[in-house]
Amino acid sequence: MPEPQSPSAGAPLVSMRGIVKRFGAFTANAGIDLDIHAGEAHALLGENGAGKSTLVKILYGLLEPSEGQILFQGAPVRFANPEAARATGIGMVFQHFSLFDNLSVAENIALVLPRGESLRNLSQRIDDIAQRYGLRLDPERPVWTLSAGERQRIEIARCLMQDPKLIVLDEPTSVLTPQEAEALFATLDVLKREGRAILYISHRLEEVRRLCDRATVLRAGRVVGACDPRAETARSLAAMMVGTHVVEVRASAVEDVGPERLGLNHLSLPSPDLHGVTLHDLSLHVRAGEVFGIAGIAGNGQDELFAAISGERLAGASDAVRLDGTCVGRQGITARRQFGAAFVPEERNGHAAAPDFSLMENAILSRHATGGVAGRAFLDLAGARSLASDIIQRFDVRAGGPDAPARTLSGGNLQKFLVGREISRSPSVLVLNQPTWGVDASAAAAIRQLLIDLSRAGSAVLVISQDLDELFEISDRIAVIHDGFLSEPRDTRSTTREEIGLLMGGASMADVTHAH
């Protein structure tokens, strides 16, 4: 391991010059220049489709540029594959972990070591890295027993085993609790002090302001700005990314909360498969006029909870799920829609929408039993086209009209269409899973405001989200799901991110109260 160095103010460690990447007629990167210096954390910002992923895949040898050049310590390099990039001194920690659950920590790290490298004393080497960087790893633990934060430490440790000079981190805190994120930042601060460079990709702009020394902003495949993020606000950074002012979400105080509109009564469901999560005795009450948030780290039962509420999986007892006082636990999704509920699942393409269907056809999919677009035996295609057109206009969906295939829309515009499709029928209950995942800041703000406005009009809105910033922005009450158990809800105004983070990590309510 190198001795600590001072950040270089001179020649860049890595330079990308005139990087162009074309996929057929589409240009993902259009002449991008980027300099990264030793000892700095450099943020790469931009919304989905801006070209960030393509650029870092070129840097890591997963793609070859159509034009342009990469310089490493001043010398031209060309990476045929990630192994070549790692051998040169570039490591990457991906957003989605690539670990084998049934192997130990040490075995997962051994899998990515260079060919021919000795495995002798591997556990000791892992211990040395863990101690040096505060990673807290047990080499003998099987991965399936570890939390998301612990799994990420494995990814970082096996990256560091190869002594990289530049580490690329892609959305590294997306599945971490606030406490795990702070531990990650402490590790990254040590790496910076050693003179290693960090290229940091994140949509969490307050993190970027806390960690990064410089930021480069991409939009539509081009560099549109650079700044010191510490001198900016999160809103000004978002405006640079989307090219326009981002409207602030405004949540009025809840004055008159109405009766329960959605209720779970001791809901238990066994795991649907080997790697699923069993739901244990869940109870909650979402009332008219409120937004109720469900926080949690991915894989703790969120998908199973959504399926149980939507009717994609039926409960064991009819009274386990109630809609406006009616017991619907044994009724399917169409019946629940007819009782006034609406649902927006996490996966846009393939679950919420059929990608090859037009927007008009996708409007029919969830409105055929409730929205006046189908009779007993016939579809009302004119009514469906009118409905899709109304959704496009009312919710500012940038699309080529009601006949445009869903797959041709950007993630943010498709999500606005899907949320609009459900909101436009004024449901009594709206349940959403990750409503703004992967959409740009402007679209996310618009969707969040729609949810607040719907609740204030008398609906009950349940939002399942991994984004604590989102939940604290729009929720009136928050509960945490962990390993299939649901915590008692807490009033958003009288709790903190730290308290919610402890619950996300598995602490009991008593532990959280004692800690504060």
Fold agreement between 14-241 and 260-515: yes
pLDDT of residue 144: 85
Above 50 in pLDDT, residue 173?
yes
Q: Quick one: pLDDT band at residue 430, thresholds 50, 70, 90?
A: very high
Q: Quick one: pLDDT band at residue 454, thresholds 50, 70, 90?
A: very high
> Burial level of 114, CB count in 10 A (0-12/13-18/19+)?
exposed
pLDDT of residue 211: 94
Task: Report the sign of the C-alpha dihedral through residues 172, 176, 179, 180, in that order.
Answer: negative
Above 70 in pLDDT, residue 373?
yes
Q: Quick one: pLDDT band at residue 3, thresholds 50, 70, 90?
A: very low
pLDDT of residue 514: 57
Above 80 in pLDDT, residue 81?
yes
pLDDT of residue 345: 93
Lowest mean pLDDT among 201-215, 234-248, 327-341: 234-248
Query: Three-class SS of residue 34?
Result: strand
Lowest mean pLDDT among 250-259, 278-287, 356-365, 464-473: 250-259
Specify the residue for token string 């000795």.
118
Mean pLDDT of the chain: 89
Above 90 in pLDDT, residue 511?
no
Whole-prediction pTM: 0.78
Amino acid at 354: A
Above 50 in pLDDT, residue 1?
no
For the chain, the domains span 14-241, 260-515
Above 80 in pLDDT, residue 116?
no
Lowest mean pLDDT among 24-33, 253-262, 401-410: 253-262
Of 514 and 454, which is predicted with more confidence? 454
71-74, Cβ contacts within 8 angstroms, sequence gap of 24 or more = 71/12, 71/14, 71/15, 71/16, 71/17, 72/13, 72/14, 73/11, 73/13, 74/11
The CATH number for 260-515, chosen from 2.60.40.10, 2.60.40.420, 3.30.530.20, 3.40.50.300, is: 3.40.50.300
pLDDT of residue 130: 86
The span from the CA of 123 to the CA of 109, in Å, is: 10
The span from the CA of 472 to the CA of 287, in Å, is: 18
The span from the CA of 500 to the CA of 486, in Å, is: 12
**Are 126 and 140 in contact, with CB atoms under 8 Å apart?**
no
Q: Which two tokens stand for residue 280?
A: 């244990």
Above 50 in pLDDT, residue 164?
yes
Above 80 in pLDDT, residue 484?
yes
Average pLDDT over residues 208-216: 95
Of 15, 60, 55, which is closest to residue 35 (Cα–Cα)?
A: 15
Lowest mean pLDDT among 6-15, 93-102, 185-194: 6-15
pLDDT of residue 439: 76
Average pLDDT over residues 90-109: 88
Average pLDDT over residues 136-151: 85
User: 14-241 has which CATH code?
Assistant: 3.40.50.300
Strands of the 279-287 sheet, one edge to the other: 279-287, 260-269, 321-323, 326-327
The span from the CA of 259 to the CA of 339, in Å, is: 16
Q: Which residues contact 415 (CB under 8 A, 6 or more apart)?
A: 348, 435, 436, 439, 443, 447
pLDDT of residue 7: 45
Of 476 and 513, which is predicted with more confidence? 476
- Please state, as a whole number, how many other Cβ atoms lie within 10 Å of the Cβ of residue 241: 24
Q: Indicate the angle between helix axes 411-423 and 441-456, nearest 10 degrees.
A: 10
